[in-house]
Structure 1
């Protein structure tokens, strides 16, 4: 069964919002009727996107600090790429927040216009009646029997109605002012959306340039990478399906782990090597690799009756996809029916599969840090990315792992 649950993919703190909660509350004061589900959905989407943007910005600052502190060129480039990818995610979230903001303002203007139309009708008719009565010649009242008495009564009634008319007129003017304010907000939101699109385009270009720089820096390892790529392609040709391919990659990763565990010089306590070995034995810190809406959860049945072994996230066209945890790329390329796919070996039996990518930013044999760019989502009408996480070949709940923050 499909679900429309918005999820946040990044961690950290920060402050970034195109609209504050106070703005939403003040804008709602112009609403004539109660909130509708569509308005609530837009507000929820806005808040979720704003939160994603804040967290992505905090993460990018953290990664930028790591890049500044890095002493090795490869580490610096990896941290810079991850920081830029977080900036791209931030801009993508800003873009979604801006779109939600414009939708909210549009609905408020629509409601306000409908309310103005309802208020103007009776007031226009009453004003027309007053004008018609005031234009009657006084001599006409003397020629018609009883009309003088009626005139006195009508004038007394009008004197009673004048305060009501003034009150309604003042209220109508205030509503018109609020409508103009909403229209000004719409113009501002449109400008902000245009700026967000331009910023996103610039950041994507910068990320592409940095990825090209990383490829140039890695040319010295091209022979080893080519050998690993050939092995990965051979495995994909022998695998009967994507599950079998993932199992083969896990077996290869297990062999690498066993080789790495062979006796060697024992690191001294307190050394970086000892700390790295201890970290490798723990579960990887995990995050969701793309921002969007969860449409298929762990264990859900598809229309064809197949149970999901991971999650599927509906995302924006061309959305940035990043490594959910640090690891080594053991497969990167097309796989029948799944678009471009990436398999990341995190060590100690942990493996991530990401499918349905349109373009890849990594190659087999490459080491990636958490948050490092691995590719982009498709550009179709309803792009989605599927993620599977496995531990010793068994599926693990991706969302629970990310929420645990381990």
Structure 2
């Protein structure tokens, strides 16, 4: 596939240094690279790490391709609008070129008034020709760019379909690999009876988190040395800040992160899994203990990975977001029309130090 051969530069070079077509082509190659990583993952000793890298490569490639295609569509519309607006000018230019092309070369340099007129016309022609040539070159460049952008839109459908299939395959393989993993250290053994009693008695997240803090209160991994500079557990944008009211006027002591459907959620630092499963009206929740007396409540997942009591190193997947993956044709339509809102899923993140919730900005780099 021709488009697939052009791309990784998007990851290595600034987007502003690329044309829209180069950006989209670079993203396609990123997807092709992800396919190679997926095929090699079966032979890696740490298959979970290999598949995590694969899923992220697909997520980055698809996001970059969508952005590149959107920019390409905007550029194509701009060029076509400009060419349409200059149709009369282009027609006159073509007429001049056709007239010059039909006239014998010697006649072009002769003037009816004699040698003086010929000299003057030659001087005028010498002045006009470079400008005319510049117009022709600019017109040819725009027409060629429109042709490239149209070709890119045609090739992109196959690239997107392959990328979406590969990402789905990588997520399924990652889920299976995590389920089969038994090499992670255990800080404590899960007590399902105690957890069930705590769930039944807790009417709020606050009560449940307080109960967790009071049980298994042994020191966990200490992430306090990087406090304030920790990346978010999912790629996305913070859309609601700490204690900011939502549309219904409800305030929650956490932040809300908008992210893409089926995005991978991973722990940014080493932590102990204190809870994983459904919780009240928060959906599927993972609660991590990155330091003594500190809990991170990560809610809104569709799937949770890992077992209670496991110590997971930084970068370990702990879940997947829900939502429906847009099909390839819908992505192309969205790109042609402009962004229709890619980040349709939301992840809730709450940080608890001791018995109270604190602003996640104290721990995470939100900007």
Tell me the TM-score normalized by structure 2: 0.67
Equivalent residue, structure 1, for 2:344? 382
Do 1:288 and 1:398's aligned partners in 2 also have CA atoms closer than 8 Å?
A: no
Equivalent residue, structure 1, for 2:263? 319
3-state SS of paired residue (2:197): helix
Residue pairs, 1:285-304, within 5 angstroms: 286-304=230-248
Do 1:229 and 1:365's aligned partners in 2 also have CA atoms closer than 8 Å?
A: no
Do 2:223 and 2:290's aligned partners in 1 also have CA atoms closer than 8 Å?
A: no
3-state SS of paired residue (1:402): coil
- What is the aligned residue count? 301
Structure 1 residues 50-85: Cα deviation after superposition (integer angstroms, max 9, x where no partner): 9xx9xxx9xx9xxx9xx96xxxxxxxxxx6535532
Is it true that 1:366 corresponds to 2:298 in the alignment? no
Of 58, 61, 65, the residue aligned with 1:91 is 58
Is it true that 1:341 corresponds to 2:303 in the alignment? no
3-state SS of paired residue (1:403): coil
Of 177, 182, 188, the residue aligned with 2:144 is 177
Equivalent residue, structure 2, for 1:236? 199
In 1, distance between residues paired with 2:268 and 2:134?
A: 60
Of 245, 249, 252, the residue aligned with 1:305 is 249
Relative to structure 1, is the Cα distance of residues 128 and 91 closer, same or farther in structure 2, using a 3 angstrom cutoff? closer
Tell me the TM-score normalized by structure 1: 0.61
In 2, distance between residues paired with 1:198 and 1:244?
A: 42
Relative to structure 1, is the Cα distance of residues 324 and 389 closer, same or farther in structure 2, using a 3 angstrom cutoff? farther
3-state SS of paired residue (2:281): coil
3-state SS of paired residue (2:288): strand
Equivalent residue, structure 2, for 1:101? 68
Structure 1 residues 372-399: Cα deviation after superposition (integer angstroms, max 9, x where no partner): 2211111158211111112113333334
In 2, distance between residues paired with 1:390 and 1:302?
A: 21
Relative to structure 1, is the Cα distance of residues 394 and 291 closer, same or farther in structure 2, using a 3 angstrom cutoff? same
3-state SS of paired residue (1:289): coil
Q: Looking at CA atoms only, which structure, 1 or 2, has the larger radius of gyration?
A: 1
Of 167, 189, 205, the residue aligned with 1:200 is 167
* 5+ residue gaps, structure 2: 1-7, 100-120, 325-342
In 2, distance between residues paired with 1:252 and 1:169?
A: 77
Give the deviation of 1:230 after TM superposition.
2.5
Is it true that 1:245 corresponds to 2:208 in the alignment? yes
Structure 1 residues 12-45: Cα deviation after superposition (integer angstroms, max 9, x where no partner): xxxx65366577445279xxxxxxxxxxxxx9xx
Relative to structure 1, is the Cα distance of residues 22 and 96 closer, same or farther in structure 2, using a 3 angstrom cutoff? closer
Of 332, 335, 359, the residue aligned with 1:397 is 359
In 2, distance between residues paired with 1:288 and 1:130?
A: 60
Relative to structure 1, is the Cα distance of residues 99 and 203 closer, same or farther in structure 2, using a 3 angstrom cutoff? same
Give the deviation of 1:91 after TM superposition.
1.9
Equivalent residue, structure 2, for 1:75? none
Of 253, 263, 273, the residue aligned with 1:329 is 273
Residue pairs, 1:66-77, within 5 angstroms: none
In 1, distance between residues paired with 2:258 and 2:322?
A: 10
Give the deviation of 1:326 after TM superposition.
2.3
Residue pairs, 1:130-149, within 5 angstroms: none
Is it true that 1:120 corresponds to 2:87 in the alignment? yes
* 5+ residue gaps, structure 1: 1-15, 30-42, 69-78, 133-155, 261-276
Structure 1 residues 209-243: Cα deviation after superposition (integer angstroms, max 9, x where no partner): 2123126x79xx9x943xx2221221111111112
Structure 1 residues 237-260: Cα deviation after superposition (integer angstroms, max 9, x where no partner): 11111121112111224xx32xx7
Structure 1 residues 342-391: Cα deviation after superposition (integer angstroms, max 9, x where no partner): 11223411111011111121233333222222111111582111111121
Relative to structure 1, is the Cα distance of residues 17 and 391 closer, same or farther in structure 2, using a 3 angstrom cutoff? farther
Do 2:268 and 2:314's aligned partners in 1 also have CA atoms closer than 8 Å?
A: yes
